[in-house]
Amino acid sequence: MAASGRAPRTISHAWLALPLLLTAALVALSVAIGAGDFSFAGLLAGAGSTDWQLLVVSRLPRTLALLLAGMSLAVAGLIMQMLVRNRFVEPSTAGTIEAATLGVLALALLAPDTPVFGKMLVAAAFAMAGTFLFLGLLRRIPLRSPYLVPLVGLILGGVIQAVTTFFAFRYDMLQTLHAWTVGDFSGVLRGRYELLWLGAVLAFAAWVAADRFTVAGMGQQFTTNLGLNYKRLTFYGLLIVSAISAVVVVTAGSIPFLGLIVPNVVSILFGDNMRRSVPWVALLGGLFVLACDIIGRLVVYPYEIPIGTVVGIIGGALFLFLLLRGRSREA
């Protein structure tokens, strides 16, 4: 493992209050920012006021969507890193996200009237297929350098993306495709984000099963010795990851590097016990996405920069930092 941290510190969950407070502050800020006039004082006027309307229809759904997407994606990244036993893997470095996008495109071309839930199912199925393709490729790599694994995933993602782009170009859907692939929460209104709750439920399920995934992270033999079914565990883990990726892609587009950065930071701070770290990963994931969205909204106010771009920059820089930091320690 490239970047496994120092001796894990035991830290009480009471410390979670700190990021919780910060999140609450950012939630308030996120609700308050926007092109329309809004004041918290206006809320007191009662359920009929325009401020109240704005809050319920637009501001609150967006904030909730950000939190849910951030939390579930970060947890998905954590599970994937456990299962693949590589710190640099997450849905966007394993072809999962690209495969999900291909699924959405295929459905948009073949059966455009499919309801959102059906879209999600198809996207999840594609995401699953992409992830298993990735695992199959990994099995064929004789010498596994920790950096080779995400590299294969990134290129696989590129190949899948080329297929997607080919069909999108052919059927004049490039622009639509672009709108999906760059993560963007500006279109989130009441009634268009609720699927993300499903992602949160899946992340919660992952928390419940956290100990098992930790065990699976130790390898097939170890897992089998403890009397657990390794194959089935891996399958369920990847099912959760694929479903979460699909939900986020369908509702908001892809948010790169998130599932990579947050679990790594948490691991550096608190070690690798998944059950302990899941709440941290989820909370910091939500916090990170919220913060990035607020940045994107403030820089060119009253316009905004899609969150996919903001996370791409901050996440890419952090990823490079993790990579090169890991190397200097190795050397």
Partner 1 sequence: MRLEVSPNTRLALLATLALWVVAAFMLIGAGGNWDFVLPFRGAKLAAMLLVAYAIAVSSVLFQTITHNRILTPSIMGFDALYLLIQAVIIFSLGIDPLTETGNPNLRFAIEVVLMTGFACLLFRALFNGAAHSLHLMLLAGIVFGLLFRSLSSFVMRLIDPNEFMVLQDRMFASFNAIQTGLLWVAAIAIGLASLLAWRLRRQYDALTLGREIAVNLGIDYRRTVMLTLALIAVMVSVSTALVGPVTFFGLLVSNLAYVTAGSGKHRYLLPMAVLWGVVFLVGGQVLLERVLALNATVSVVIEFIGGLLFLFLITRKKT
- Strands annotated E in the chain: none
The pattern of x and - marking residues 88 through 107 that bind partner 1 according to CB under 8 A reads x-------------------
Stretch that binds partner 1, among 31-39, 44-52, 226-234, 315-323 (CB under 8 A): 315-323
Judged by CB under 8 A, the residue of 21, 299, 301, 325 near partner 1 is: 299
Between 9 and 140, CB nearer to partner 1: 140
- The rounded Cα 122 to chain-centroid distance in angstroms is 18
Contacts by 49-57 with C-beta closer than 8 Å and gap 24+? 55/31, 56/190, 57/189, 57/190
- The rounded Cα 124 to chain-centroid distance in angstroms is 14
The pattern of x and - marking residues 147 through 166 that bind partner 1 according to CB under 8 A reads xx-xxx-xxx-xx--xx-xx
Stretch that binds partner 1, among 21-29, 233-241, 272-280, 317-325 (CB under 8 A): 317-325
Does 303 bind partner 1 (CB under 8 A)? Our answer is yes
Q: What is the rounded CA–CA span in Å between residue 25 and residue 31?
A: 10
Judged by CB under 8 A, the residue of 46, 140, 221, 227 near partner 1 is: 140
Between 51 and 98, CB nearer to partner 1: 98
Q: How many residues bind partner 1 (CB under 8 A)?
A: 42
Q: What is the rounded CA–CA span in Å between residue 286 and residue 65?
A: 10
DSSP state string for 89-143: --GGGTTHHHHHHHHHHHHHHH-TT--HHHHHHHHHHHHHHHHHHHHHHHHT-SS
Judged by CB under 8 A, the residue of 18, 45, 111, 141 near partner 1 is: 141
Between 222 and 321, CB nearer to partner 1: 321
Longest Cα–Cα distance in the chain: 67
Strand partners, 182: 254
Stretch that binds partner 1, among 37-45, 78-86, 144-152, 200-208 (CB under 8 A): 144-152
Between 152 and 289, CB nearer to partner 1: 152
Residue 136 Cβ vs partner 1, minimum distance, rounded to whole Å: 11
- The rounded Cα 136 to chain-centroid distance in angstroms is 23
Does 73 bind partner 1 (CB under 8 A)? Our answer is no
Residue 186 Cβ vs partner 1, minimum distance, rounded to whole Å: 12
Q: What is the rounded CA–CA span in Å between residue 43 and residue 37?
A: 12
Does 170 bind partner 1 (CB under 8 A)? Our answer is yes
Between 21 and 162, CB nearer to partner 1: 162
Give, in order, the Cα–Cα distances in Å from 279 to each of 55, 60, 170, 273, 275.
Answer: 27, 22, 44, 11, 8
- The rounded Cα 149 to chain-centroid distance in angstroms is 19
Between 199 and 308, CB nearer to partner 1: 308
**238-277: contacts with partner 1 (CB under 8 A):** 256
Q: What is the rounded CA–CA span in Å between residue 267 and residue 192?
A: 34
Between 23 and 86, CB nearer to partner 1: 86
Between 25 and 317, CB nearer to partner 1: 317
Backbone torsions φ then ψ of 182, nearest 5 degrees:
-85, 115
Residue 291's CB: how many other CB atoms inside 10 A? 20
Judged by CB under 8 A, the residue of 21, 50, 178, 189 near partner 1 is: 178
Residues in touch with partner 1 (CB under 8 A) = 88, 137, 140-143, 145, 147-148, 150-152, 154-156, 158-159, 162-163, 165-166, 169-170, 175, 178, 256, 299-300, 303, 305, 309-310, 312-313, 316-317, 319-320, 323-324, 327, 331
